Structure 1
Amino acid sequence: MTRLSVNINKIATLRNSRGGNNPDLIQVATDCELFGAQGITVHPRPDERHIRYQDVFDLKQIVTTEFNIEGNCQEQKFIDLVLANKPGQVTLVPDILGQITSNHGWDTIANREYLTGMISVFKQAGIRVSIFVDPIAEMVEGAAKTGTDRIELYTEAYATHYHQDRDQAIAPYIAAAELAHELGLGINAGHDLDLNNLKFFADNIPALDEVSIGHALISDALYFGLENTIHMYLRQLG
């Protein structure tokens, strides 16, 4: 079964909008695990507009499932944060300063030397590494040459075109996943996966280890409740 990691950035956004500690990010993470989530994901950014750096230290103390920290390893503060907390997984994303949300994967060919060095730093600390890539064969092949443990397939294009032609939308992801599996890479996925498109994706992507879902899941929880929503997403993966 593909594992579900809940990205709790949006909970932090809501908390920060009013100051104080409502909703309580730590309690939400604890409850997500209690309700069946197999991981907690955070994506701290330099402006701390959602997850704060202190949140990462606080979460490290209480997360009992897999703790996944996403972010831009081109920022030294992010590198230091990850090494100080040693999560189960770090996901390297090529964000730029001020970016609203991630919108592309790494060019693993142009950045091969850089990524190889950074991945080595994290792996030497005992942290599994995943890197964000688009479903392009050359990018998957380039990822394999960096020494990364996994790739995370950036699924925005799949989600965008799912309702037009889901078979066409998923085709490049199947090819990318098959190639990644052949090359010995683990496979994660994330971005715009939701209750409408998740099951078809999970059913068709071979050897899919993990999906990281935040925005859609938290939005659905406003209607269905957090516990029920997590169960609904788990059923899509089952």
Structure 2
Amino acid sequence: MRSILVHAMNDAGFDARLQVGLDLCRRFNAHLTVLQTITYDLVVPTDPFGVSAVEVSQASMKLAEEFREKVESKLKQEDVRWDWHVEAGYQVQCLIRHAALNDLVLLGGTPDGSEGRRSFSLAGTLAIHCRTPIMAVPHTANGFPADTAAALCWNGSMEAARAMRAAVPLLSAASAVHILCVGDPAEEGDEKLPAVSAADYLERHDIDCEIVQLPAGKEPVHEMLRKAAEARKAGFMVMGAYGQPRIVETLFGGVTRNVLAEPPMPVLMAH
């Protein structure tokens, strides 16, 4: 893991994902790329009273430049290699393009209108549409501790397997790896990969792990996974991103959607 991309927006979660990016870069001797996106809705005139495109563009660019100068002054004091890119356009397209030559993309959430809640729809969309693993970073994250444990959410799917493979560098560096499974393994179909196969794969990478079988009950699966991860003092979660990319409203399966609704810790996803 030598190239890490951080989405730069002047939002409440930027400091958290920047710190996560810096910690990961130090851990893996990686290069940090900061991508600042300026969306078209900021530079295209929509005011019916005649605000010109030049005026809107200048105002947006001025705010963007002020934000960039503030963050760059901090980055210059860090012991991490970094560069900064600014692009105007659709966020998803800009991020997918830059993600192609990075090993991990760090994204945050934006207010969704509910008190205290944030939407990680951008992270979920990127996880579905691009090949690079995505990490959704909550605004409450305090960096990425070197001695943190990992919670691998396993349901035997291809998506879970891809997420696990993408997370191998992080899992190799974790202090402990817990494979969390919900339900009775005897009831799983032949199309599912058993948790022991995941453990065998990790063992070939010299990663020790523990399989945790959580009995299915009335509690939602995402709540069971969250509580199990927190009980084991995990610093991040790994899970597959499930859904149909054709319809934005139904992109995510229930567990993915609910974990992203309020992630308790950084969540690495891959589709």
Please report the TM-score for the alignment, with normalisation by the length of structure 1: 0.30
Q: Which has the higher strand share?
A: 2
Larger radius of gyration: 2
Q: Greater share of helix residues, 1 or 2?
A: 1
